[in-house]
Structure formats: C-alpha cells, structure tokens
Amino acid sequence: MAINTDNRSWIPVVWDAPPWVKAGTSTRHGGNSRGTYNTLNLAMHVGDDPAMVAVNRRYLSGLLKLPAQPVWLNQTHSNRVTNADNSANTDADGIYTSQAGVVCTIMTADCVPLLFCNAAGTKIAAVHVGWRGFCAGIIPDALSYFNGEIESMLAWIGPHIRTDHYEVGEDVRTPCVNKHHKMNKAFHRNPAGRWQADLEMLVRQELALHGVSRIFSAGLCTYEHCADFFSYRRDKQTGRTASMIWLDK
C-alpha cells in the first residue's frame, strides 16, 4: 500500500473520531539526522546526535502546530500505562489523558503503534505494542481507562512490521498463544520450520476479545517501506517514528 499524505513527514489517522481528536504517525522524511537515522529520527536513545533529534522534534511540533510539547516516554516493552500528567520520560509503554492540549506520544520501529479514543472524543490513549508488551497485557491495561465505553470506542493500528517480514521462534509464539487459543491464527509455519507472526491479527484478536469492534488500520509495513519508515528488524541501528494523539478543543 502506498503512502497517501499531503506532507511526507506525517500520516494522519483516518477513522470516525470527532474532528477535534487529532492523531497520526510520523515517517522518516523531513528531518536533519544523517546516516542510518536519515532523516526524521525522533528518539534520543538510539545513538543519534541529540542536537539533531531536538531539531527534528521542533520541526514536527511546528509542522503539526502542536498545542504543547509531546509527552515522550521511556519505553521498556512493559505493560505499564500512565496518565499523561507529569509523565515525561516515565518508564511506560502506554499513555492516556482526558485533558485538551496534551500530546500523548509513543515511538516505534516495527512494533505496533496503537491509538485509542472514546466515541465522545473526551478520552485518548497511545500504546506501544510489541510481543512482550502484548503478552504482558498492555492492551487490556490500556482499555481499562475506557471502562464502560469500550464497545463504542475507536482503535487505530499504525504502521508496523507485517507478517511476511516477521519471522519468530517458539519463544514468541508460545506465550502469545497461551493468552488465548485464537491467537494461534496469527502464526503460520514457514519452510524453515519457524513462524511468521501477524502482529495486526494479534492486536485485532485481543481487541475483539475485550469488545472493541471499531478498528481501523494504516495497512503499512515498516520493513517493506524502507524509504518511509525505520525498521529495527531490517536495519538494527536505526531511528524511531512517533505516533501522536491529542484533543484540539
């Protein structure tokens, strides 16, 4: 699937949320980083020049006319979801708020960026979902913030590594399948005897099991679209894109 956006640095979410819910994900275009971080790397922890990352962050904030500086987390592949109030640099992999003007942010380079909002457009969340966080229960932990509104809420699955490029071993498959037998559908054995994992199916199955049915997807692969996204599986030393959501009202 090709990227369709008015600005190559940003892909807005396409879903049925109220218009004041602003959300999307960055690409690797438009920044100042060099080499393997070329060009819009937004992560300070990957070995890039911090000065360049700071410039990149300012560029994106200006491009999007953000109401405040994004709340950046220290992501650890955990199941911790934190309130955005005073959460900058907190060890967590999910963030939520009901406050207007607070920019919930997570970074990825193959893992699933998962954005949520309730139907009324008064609660939002952003979640970083890798297989470890998935198995630890980060999705239901994030959904608990929307208690009583889950059936009408919206979820968006952002660009991530897709099945054809995500080979894993039994050490990944077993804990995922142990969560629920339906997760078995997300794994297909390849000729080498290992498994091709479908992260989107895992996320969709988990959301469905908890009553979320309004699910939208970017349908983009970080590994395949090498010119547009960073991919840790493809490049190892690389940058990170940012998925953001905020209430602009």
Listed by start position, the domains of the chain span: 10-161+212-247
First to last CA, the chain: 32
Contact between residue 63 and residue 7 where contact means Cβ atoms under 8 Å apart: yes
Phi, psi of 84 (to 5 degrees): -65, -20
Tell me what the pLDDT averaged over the chain comes to.
95
d(CA 178, CA 30): 42
**What letter does residue 245 receive in the DSSP assignment?**
E
- Please check the confidence at residue 246 and state whether its pLDDT lies above 70: yes
| Alpha-carbon distances of 168 from 79, 142, 192, 226, rounded to whole Å | 21, 26, 11, 21
- Please check the confidence at residue 1 and state whether its pLDDT lies above 60: no
Give the per-residue pLDDT at 81.
Answer: 97
Q: CATH assignment of 10-161+212-247? A: 3.60.140.10
| Alpha-carbon distances of 4 from 7, 11, 61, 237, rounded to whole Å | 9, 8, 21, 27
* pLDDT tens digits along 129-181: 999 999 999 999 999 999 999 999 999 999 999 999 999 999 999 999 999 99
Give the per-residue pLDDT at 86.
Answer: 72
